[in-house]
Amino acid sequence: SDIQPVKSDYRIVSDSLFAPFEFQNSSKNYVGIDVDLMKAIAKNQKFNITMDFVGFQTAVDQTQSGHADGMIAGMSITDERKKVFDFSDPYFTANATIAVKSTTTDIKSYKDLKGKTVGVKNGTASQTFLDKNKDKYGYKLKVFDAADTMYESLNTGSIDAFMDDEPVVKYAILQGKKFATPLEPEKIGEYGFAVKKGTNPELLAMFNAGLAKLKANGEYDTIIEKYMGNTD
């Protein structure tokens, strides 16, 4: 039987730039896999949403403070986050990877990052990974709020590498960024829609029911193909 919404409008927050999951198209409208999935799920489960693209760490904070009802931001389902978030069924699998300039030849393993500066986005699973392994490999970290400034810093050479999710780096390369991914990617968990632990259970249930429907009727595949084509 159908799950009923409790609120007349659910405020969903997301990252500000995480292409192909959320990004602004040429008309400055936010599009992407997360955006299309969320809208299609709200439509087939008959609930209303407002989406705000506030950036990853801000989305985490707003969902935790109750300022937002839920978040979809290519967010990896991790054990640590499960302590404070309830996650939907996974909707995508992605690893994280180190990216360097395509002209860089001296970084082939984590050991080669010794003395180098590695960029990472605030609040991400990549940040957790890099923090944990910092002493072991001897790199410095530079934390960014958004991907555009991080990518620009690699281009200008103020960082030597950065870590981000593999499909996002691959997409950036396809869009013409001169980056390379010389290291084996790290498993950081599957993506899930998240609500603050113990809140909005009907929203989570509607997301899961909607996702199952999109997978069954082919709409999920259509959305993925629209943004990723045959890039993998």
Binding mask 123-152 for ligand GLN (x = CB under 6 A): -xx---------------------------
d(C-alpha 70, C-alpha 34), whole Å: 13
**Interaction residues for ligand GLN, span 167-206 (CB under 6 A):** none
Least separation in angstroms between residue 128's CB and ligand GLN is: 8
d(C-alpha 9, C-alpha 35), whole Å: 16
d(C-alpha 85, C-alpha 31), whole Å: 25
Contact between residue 227 and residue 129 where contact means Cβ atoms under 8 Å apart: no
Compute the C-alpha angle 109/164/103, nearest 5°. 55
Nearer to ligand GLN by C-beta: 3 or 150?
A: 150
Contact between residue 147 and residue 164 where contact means Cβ atoms under 8 Å apart: yes
Please choose, out of 68-76, 107-115, 151-159, 196-204, the segment that lies near ligand GLN by the rule CB under 6 A: 68-76
**Structure tokens that stand for 167 in this block:** 């499909």
Nearer to ligand GLN by C-beta: 124 or 208?
A: 124
Instruction: Count residues binding ligand GLN (CB under 6 A).
Output: 11
74 binds ligand GLN (CB under 6 A): yes
d(C-alpha 65, C-alpha 51), whole Å: 17
Least separation in angstroms between residue 35's CB and ligand GLN is: 13
Nearer to ligand GLN by C-beta: 74 or 119?
A: 74
Least separation in angstroms between residue 111's CB and ligand GLN is: 24
d(C-alpha 208, C-alpha 194), whole Å: 11
d(C-alpha 153, C-alpha 151), whole Å: 5
Among 16, 45, 58, 76, binds ligand GLN (CB under 6 A): 76
d(C-alpha 86, C-alpha 82), whole Å: 6
Binding mask 38-67 for ligand GLN (x = CB under 6 A): ------------------x-----------
Nearer to ligand GLN by C-beta: 177 or 213?
A: 177
Nearer to ligand GLN by C-beta: 112 or 121?
A: 121
Contact between residue 67 and residue 196 where contact means Cβ atoms under 8 Å apart: no
Please name the residues in contact with 55: beta carbons below 8 A apart, sequence gap of 6 or more: 15, 16, 145, 146
**Contacts to ligand GLN by CB under 6 A:** 15, 18, 56, 73-76, 121, 124-125, 165
